[in-house]
A = this chain, B = another copy of it.
Amino acid sequence: MLIARTIEELRNTIASRSYKSLGFVPTMGALHEGHLSLIQKAFEQNDLVVVSVFVNPTQFGPNEDFDKYPRNYSRDIEILQTAGVHILFLPEIETMYPLGHEVEIRLPKISSILCGKFRPGHFDGVALILTKFFNILRPNKAYFGQKDYQQTIIVKKLVEQLFWEIEIVVCPTVRDEDGLAKSSRNQYLSAQERKNALILYQTLLWVASQVSVSRDLKFLAEQARQRLISAPSIKLEYFEILRARDLEPIDFLVENAIALGAIYVNNTRLIDNILLTVENLN
């Protein structure tokens, strides 16, 4: 595995390879099985796989966990090496954001709901760093986890509206045996907090089980919120059911919808979602 730390190194390394398709997996490190499933998919669909590890400061708010976000680069390098990744891009902050940086990229409407409502600026930071990565790497495909569902919709819009020829591949959420969605932030949780955190996925499963009974999504979302509000030791941030393809409001399950929630367990913020498909209904 070649480790590129500057943009020039990365460009030269990519230029020196002959490949048919470049698959790109952007990560913030602290790698887990969720990331590995993206990398595996990238290997299935491409002959050159590039992974970035970069804790992107512009997608953290001033009161968020940028400083304490888990970083373990030597472990990440080992994992990527073992996975057979061809190139790791591991830039410094100054490389991605040189002095005097001022460009901003925004999708103001879709970035103002759900996670974006509670993390103002978050998706602007995501859009900005991906724009940079896409321009440097020119990948054919890029890989994202369904756990960050709103992000996947925003990235698809970004690519479509700015006319990159990049296919955005969304891979299923990977879960622990107890159902908790894999997340780098899970390491913040104590054993008890982990148990409390499970209520989010349980509520999502409950919603999915109810759509065969009622297609009234507003009613189901409200029921789910009540469940979460009355659950012990967690704080509900949001729980919504929206149209899956664009996160627009939808009252009834007449096309695919997505149930999404964010909770706090102590100081740890966790998100999860589940797709509600019309195909399974009669």
Q: Is the CB of A103 within 8 A of B162?
A: yes
> Using Cβ atoms and an 8 Å threshold, which residues of chain B touch A158?
103
Most buried by B among A98, A107, A109, A131: A131
Within 8 A of B (CB), among A238-282: 246
In the assembly, how many copies of this chain are there? 2
Inter-subunit contact B106/A135 (CB<8 Å): no
Query: Considering residues A11, A100, A109, which has the most beta carbons from chain B within 10 angstroms of its beta carbon?
Result: A100
Cβ A102 vs Cβ B98 within 8 A: no
Tell me whether A162 and B131 are in contact (CB under 8 A). yes
What are some 17 contacts across the A-B interface (CB < 8 A)?
A11-B165, A98-B160, A98-B161, A100-B246, A102-B107, A102-B108, A102-B109, A102-B161, A103-B105, A103-B106, A103-B162, A104-B105, A104-B106, A105-B106, A131-B162, A132-B161, A135-B162
Interface pair A103/B136, CB less than 8 Å apart: no
Per a CB cutoff under 8 Å, which of B98, B108, B132, B165 touches A104? B108
Which residue on chain B has the smallest CB distance to residue A98? B161
A interface residues, Cβ below 8 angstroms from B? 7, 11, 98, 100-110, 127, 131-132, 135-136, 157-158, 160-165, 246
Q: Using Cβ atoms and an 8 Å threshold, which residues of chain B touch A132?
A: 161-163
Which chain B residues border A136 with CB–CB below 8 Å? 163
User: Which 4 pairs of residues, A with B, have the shortest CB-CB distance?
Assistant: A103-B161, A104-B106, A135-B163, A136-B163
Q: Whose C-beta in chain B lies nearest to the C-beta of A138?
A: B138
Question: Shortest CB–CB separation between residue A99 and chain B, in angstroms?
Answer: 11
Tell me, in angstroms, the Cα distance from A61 to B23 when the chains sit together.
40
A107 touches B104 (CB 8 A): yes
Chain B hits for A98, CB < 8 A: 160-161
CB distance from A9 to the nearest CB of B (A): 13
What is the bound-complex CA distance between A246 and B100, given in angstroms? 10
- Chain B residues lying within 8 Å of A11, measured Cβ to Cβ, are 165
Q: Which residue of B lies closest to A7 (CB)?
A: B163
Residue in B closest to A101 when the chains form the complex, CB atoms: B161
| Cβ A105 vs Cβ B105 within 8 A | yes
Q: What 15 additional pairs, Cβ within 8 angstroms, besides A102-B157, A105-B106, A132-B162?
A: A98-B160, A100-B246, A102-B109, A102-B110, A102-B161, A103-B157, A103-B158, A103-B162, A104-B105, A104-B106, A105-B105, A131-B162, A132-B161, A132-B163, A135-B163
A141, chain B: closest CB distance, angstroms: 16
